Chains A and B, each alone.
Chain A
Amino acid sequence: AQKVTQAQTEISVVEKEDVTLDCVYETRDTTYYLFWYKQPPSGELVFLIRRNSFDEQNEISGRYSWNFQKSTSSFNFTITASQVVDSAVYFCALSEGVRAAGNKLTFGGGTRVLVKP
């Protein structure tokens, strides 16, 4: 069975500080996909980044970067130079395998990020 754990329930920072969100996953599949979503107070889940299990290259996209390590089953996400608009709940999600109709997502419990001005 697949499982996603986000140990941090809430993080509070001052604007311009960096924020790193931890995510640990469990899966028996060799092919899987990892995602980070942001959920502002409005409720909609907004896709941020994706990583495939066969590509461990870490990347930077604007103020977002991620560190994917298969050896420790971790997929951590960093927001550089945080802004007040980054305040939201962030979810790490996992989908396993390859299905014709697509995969279900298994979410972690979320980490609430509060960026203070």
Chain B
Amino acid sequence: DAGVTQSPTHLIKTRGQQVTLRCSPKSGHDTVSWYQQALGQGPQFIFQYYEEEERQRGNFPDRFSGHQFPNYSSELNVNALLLGDSALYLCASSRAGYSNQPQHFGDGTRLSIL
């Protein structure tokens, strides 16, 4: 039973560039959430996708956008990269209608901005 998979594992970009991160949810899960974790801090919620629509959004600018595909996989896009976007980006999956169940996380994509 495959868990949450994310790609790539590491990425180096320069300021002003654009980046796309990818996530495949755990088998049986239909909801994907994205989190940003800066060094030494707890993860911060970016947004959540369900039924191919953004359902909830945290306090992030619209440079951060996403997409969910019919197979439930998801992409996180960040435009006009800033130095402050350097972080570990975590994808989590869950099953709709089961709010009391834990979200399952992938290993993350470590993004470095030069």
Task: Identify which of A59-67, A68-76, A92-100 touches chain B.
Answer: A92-100
- With contact pairs A44-B107, A104-B56 given, residues A95 and B43 touching in the complex (Cβ less than 8 Å): no
Contact B42 A102 (CB under 8 A): no
Contact B48 A101 (CB under 8 A): yes
Residues of A within 8 Å of B41, CB to CB, are 109-110
Contact A102 B45 (CB under 8 A): no
- With contact pairs A43-B88, A101-B96, A102-B95 given, residues A107 and B102 touching in the complex (Cβ less than 8 Å): no
Contact B106 A102 (CB under 8 A): no
Contact B107 A109 (CB under 8 A): no
Kindly identify, within residues 32 to 57 of chain A, every residue whose CB is under 8 Å from any CB belonging to chain B. 33, 35, 37, 42-47, 50, 52
A105 interface residue, CB < 8 Å from B? yes
In angstroms, how far is the closest chain B Cβ from the Cβ of A2? 10
Residues of A within 8 Å of B86, CB to CB, are none
B73 interface residue, CB < 8 Å from A? no
User: Which listed residue (B31, B43, B44, B48) contacts A45, Cβ 8 A?
Assistant: B43
Contact B108 A102 (CB under 8 A): no
Size bracket of the A interface: 20 to 34
Nearest B residue to A4 via CB reads B42
Residues of A within 8 Å of B107, CB to CB, are 42-44
Contact B43 A102 (CB under 8 A): no
Residues of A within 8 Å of B108, CB to CB, are 43-44
Interface string of B81-114 (1 = CB under 8 A from A): 0000000101010111111111111111010000
**Interface pairs (20), CB distance under 8 Å:** A4-B42, A6-B42, A44-B105, A44-B108, A46-B105, A91-B42, A97-B99, A100-B96, A100-B97, A101-B50, A101-B51, A101-B56, A102-B31, A102-B33, A102-B96, A102-B98, A103-B99, A104-B48, A104-B56, A105-B92
Q: Which residues of B contact A (CB under 8 A)?
A: 31, 33, 35, 40-45, 48, 50-51, 55-56, 58, 88, 90, 92, 94-108, 110
Q: Which residues of A contact B (CB under 8 A)?
A: 4, 6, 33, 35, 37, 42-47, 50, 52, 91, 95, 97-110
